[in-house]
Chains A and B, each alone.
Chain A
Amino acid sequence: MDTDAPARKLTRSTTDKHVWGVAGGLGRYFGVDAMLFRVAFGVSVVFGGIGIVAYLALAAFLASDNGKQAWIEDKPRAASAAVIIGLAVAGIAALSPPGFILGPGVFAIAVFTLLGVAAYRAISQEVRQDPARLVAKVTLMLIALAAAMAAAVAVGFAVALGGGVAVAIVAMVAGLGLITAGLLGGPRWLILPVLVLVVPLAVVSAADLDLEGGVGEERYAPQTVDQIRPEYRVGVGEMVVDLRDLELPAGRTQVNVRVGIGEARVLVPDDVCTSIDGDIGVGAADIPNREDEGPDIAIREQPRQLVINAHLGIGHLQVDRNRAACA
């Protein structure tokens, strides 16, 4: 066989390899210098890393040219499914699509993937046995899932109400517990309760969610600067701050608005030049000439006569202002 001719089957190279022989195999298959693929994989790191994901996928799924089977082939089906789903999620994340998937959507995909794999592994051992036991097991798993979700929501509320430091410390102690359990050969389902701790803590932290301030609908309409509160705050609900009748003094005036989950609407006098300095963990901002939605919304404007300092964890910010007032 002519060794210079492209091989008909794509395999990992055992002779031209620096890591796992993927670039060497690709070069031989396409009849080009393997260095081109190595450069391409390296350059992809700068552009989101999709090439790294592709390299890992090829390394897992390609057999070697010495007849050794692919790494994935002798793995359990559940592990294979987990690897495939993990690579798919990593690939989607590396491609950086716009929108929600890079925020809480990724957490949801990751958590439900893990739950799905765990459920698959648990059920597949029971399928060949008694159907009654299978039904009982599925029922128990659904109850456990509901309990886990309820616990996750409770943890999320605890963090959002100021218990984040304590929960983070408990999570680290739980990590130590996992290590101890691992050294003693403990059960792997212990990972799931830890997820119930860590995931809501992560989501609340990333959204910077703060539910202190009560629940309900609030409306404020200060007439003078003295009536402006240091901070207008609602934990969960809707808040309207009507500043249209406010008599503003010379100089700069700042109004602080903070909503955990919900909506904040600020009404501004037509003749006042207003700027916004705001952060929204997840949600939408609806202000003249600008609409944003998704995670990590940051609004930074040059300070004007009236500065709206808004902070929302999850929700919608609307500021009704007249941009022509700044002209």
Chain B
Amino acid sequence: MRRGRVDRTLVVAGLATIALGALLLLDRLGSIDLRFDYLAPAILAAIGIVLISAGLS
């Protein structure tokens, strides 16, 4: 695989999706109780990280 073809934005978006998915899975399983107070900043942070990686690439 050629290194130049790697899209960092997609990779970061994938990592953010997995992190959010893990949080939401724990919530659905009842291990944690997510509320808007916690989830809204988490979603914003994920979007911000993806945007920053898009701006840097």
* Max chain A C-beta neighbours (<10 A), residue from B8, B11, B20, B24: B24
- Residues from chain B with a CB closer than 8 A to the CB of A184 are 1, 5
Q: Contact mask B10-28 → A, CB, 8 Å, 1/0?
A: 1111111111111011011
Sorting the interface of chain A by its residue count into under 10, 10 to 19, 20 to 34 or 35 or more gives 35 or more
Flag if B28 contacts A106 (CB, 8 Å): no
Asked whether any CB of chain B lies closer than 8 Å to the CB of A174, the reply is yes
Give the dominant DSSP class at B's interface. helix
Q: Contact mask A183-203 → B, CB, 8 Å, 1/0?
A: 111101011001000110110
Which of A75, A93, A176, A208 contacts B14, CB < 8 Å?
A: A176
Q: How far is the CA of A164 from the CA of B26 in the complex (A)?
A: 10
Flag if A177 contacts B44 (CB, 8 Å): no
User: 19 interchain pairs (CB within 8 A)?
Assistant: A93-B40, A102-B36, A103-B40, A113-B47, A164-B24, A165-B28, A165-B29, A171-B20, A172-B17, A175-B14, A176-B14, A180-B14, A182-B8, A184-B1, A185-B6, A199-B43, A202-B43, A205-B27, A295-B37
Flag if A175 contacts B51 (CB, 8 Å): no
Q: How far is the CA of A89 from the CA of B51 in the complex (A)?
A: 13
Flag if A181 contacts B10 (CB, 8 Å): yes
Q: Mark out the residues of chain A between 140 and 198 whose CB falls within 8 Å of any chain B CB in the assembled complex.
A: 159, 164-165, 168-169, 171-172, 174-186, 188, 190-191, 194, 198
Asked whether any CB of chain B lies closer than 8 Å to the CB of A326, the reply is no
Which of A159, A185, A191, A206 contacts B50, CB < 8 Å?
A: A191
A210 to chain B, nearest CB (A): 11
Flag if A188 contacts B48 (CB, 8 Å): no
By Cβ-Cβ distance, the 9 closest A-B pairs, closest first, are: A182-B10, A178-B14, A175-B17, A185-B5, A179-B14, A172-B21, A175-B18, A182-B11, A168-B25
- Residues from chain B with a CB closer than 8 A to the CB of A90 are 44, 48
Asked whether any CB of chain B lies closer than 8 Å to the CB of A82, the reply is yes
Asked whether any CB of chain B lies closer than 8 Å to the CB of A135, the reply is no
